[in-house]
Amino acid sequence: MFDVITFGSATRDMFVISKDFQAIKSDDFVSGKGLCVSAGSKIFAEDIVFASGGGSSNCAATFTLQGLATACVTKVGDDPGGNAVIDDLKKLGVNTGFILKDKKFKTAYSVILSPPHGERTILVYQGASHELRKEEISWQELKKTEWFYISGLSGASSEIFESIINFAHENGIKIAVNPGEAQLKMGIDRLEPLLNKIDIFILNKEEATRLTCLPYNAEKEIFKRLDNWIRGIAVMSKGPEGVMVSDGRDIYSAGIPKSGILDRTGAGDAFGSGFVAGLIQKSKHKKPDASAIEYAIQLGTANATGTVQHLGAKNGLLKKGEWGPWKRVEVKSYRI
Ligand SMILES: Nc1ncnc2c1ncn2[C@@H]1O[C@H](COP(=O)(O)OP(=O)(O)OP(=O)(O)O)[C@@H](O)[C@H]1O
Ligand SMILES: [Mg+2]
């Protein structure tokens, strides 16, 4: 029996650190800035770091480190990158028996270009992580769990999102979702019947604004709408500003502890999975109460703070009972 089974992508990540990456203002780019190097030159990197990443694998790492029996569902290529992802998870103690290997596409690969003091830029090859198909999944085996944690599913893999939620609902499995782009693009008409089956729904503030079609700072209104749609708890993360959570009765909020930051890759996964791990630890067979939500916010925040101190989405994740050198964040709440 598992506590949690995760769904989503698994990638190989390579971080390239070079002081020669320059940000240049230009309206030719969506962000108004381009990351530039001199064309035709050799650009030297001060360091490179290899790590595994992707929502399904990162979150599985947090759950197992938090002492929960965890399995990961994802697809990699039949290549050394895929084996490296599987080995990383095995070493942590994650069950990798459900990880599929695609014969045609290679393991997803991200190259993270990181200037020492600037915003990173990521080159993404999604490869095999796009190719998870309904008919390849051992559905009967997946019944043996308390929770599903579903992170972004893209390409052909996005077509199984509804099936996973409906399967969990029919089998009494609790559901946490941190949606990706393809899920948000489904539109509220298709999403609404699914949200009604979800126990924990995790979005960042931009995503929450887009989904609810409300102004960026209308936080109360955003939660009112999310609470109407979602059966359980709505979580809105706000990057360095912290997080807000609603259980439909109270709104909880917290900032982040004073700490450094090296690289924010994996912060969303570390927060979301840390939050869900905290709720599972504190409310195994009962409805989460205020103290469980408070604890979950503190654990998710501490776990995200741990990972942003390091390159590599799994580096710095906390083990059960460890909280790092930072103070636990103060959680405030008020009745809606
Ligand atoms: N720069 C930062 N410094 C410290 N903590 C951070 C930082 N960015 C994020 N966090 C922590 O991680 C949590 C989740 O981050 P964020 O809101 O950026 O999620 P996200 O946009 O989903 O991230 P991702 O791009 O990884 O999916 C925040 O609520 C906060 O606790
Ligand atoms: Mg995210």
Q: How far is the CA of 68 from the centre of ligand 2 (A)?
A: 22
Q: How far is the CA of 307 from the centre of ligand 2 (A)?
A: 14
Closest residue to atom 17 of ligand 1, CA basis: 239
Ligand 1 atom with least separation from CA of 270: 12
Helices marked H in the chain: 55-65, 80-92, 161-170, 181-184, 188-195, 205-212, 219-229, 267-282, 290-308
Distance CA 322, CA 84 (A): 27
**Is the pLDDT reported for residue 286 higher than 90?**
no
The DSSP annotation for 255-274 comes to ---S---S--TTHHHHHHHH
Predicted pLDDT of residue 287: 87
168: helix, strand or coil: helix
Lowest mean pLDDT among 19-28, 85-94, 110-119, 135-144: 110-119
The helix or strand, by DSSP H or E, that contains position 109, with its residue range, turns out to be strand 108-114
Predicted pLDDT of residue 260: 86
Predicted pLDDT of residue 144: 94
What is the average pLDDT across 74-88? 97
pLDDT band at residue 234 using 50, 70 and 90 as cut-offs: very high
Predicted pLDDT of residue 119: 84
Q: Facing residues of 250 across strands?
A: 335
Q: Which ligand has the shortest distance to the CA of 240?
A: 1
What is the average pLDDT across 178-199? 95
Predicted pLDDT of residue 179: 97
Distance CA 143, CA 145 (A): 6
* φ, ψ of residue 274 in degrees (nearest 5): -65, -40
**Is the pLDDT reported for residue 247 higher than 90?**
yes
Q: How far is the CA of 41 from the centre of ligand 2 (A)?
A: 35
- Average pLDDT of the chain is 95
Rounded to whole angstroms, what are the CA distances from 119 to 35, 70, 80, 283, 324?
9, 33, 30, 38, 25
Predicted pLDDT of residue 116: 81
Q: Facing residues of 176 across strands?
A: 149, 200
Predicted pLDDT of residue 261: 85
Residues with beta carbon inside 6 Å of ligand 1? 204, 237-240, 242-243, 256, 261, 264, 266-268, 271, 301, 304-305, 308
Closest residue to atom 20 of ligand 1, CA basis: 268
What is the average pLDDT across 129-157? 96
Phi-psi region of 191 (alpha: psi -120 to 50; beta: other; left: phi over 0): alpha
**Is the pLDDT reported for residue 275 higher than 80?**
yes
pTM value is 0.96
Distance CA 172, CA 96 (A): 23
In this predicted model, what pLDDT tens digit does every residue of 292-314 receive, in sequence order?
A: 999 999 999 999 999 999 999 99
DSSP 314: T
Rounded to whole angstroms, what are the CA distances from 66 to 79, 134, 248?
30, 29, 27
Rounded to whole angstroms, what are the CA distances from 307 to 58, 201, 265, 324?
11, 21, 8, 11
Distance CA 118, CA 120 (A): 6
The arrangement of secondary structure in 2-11+53-107+127-335, i.e. its CATH architecture, is 3-Layer(aba) Sandwich (3.40)
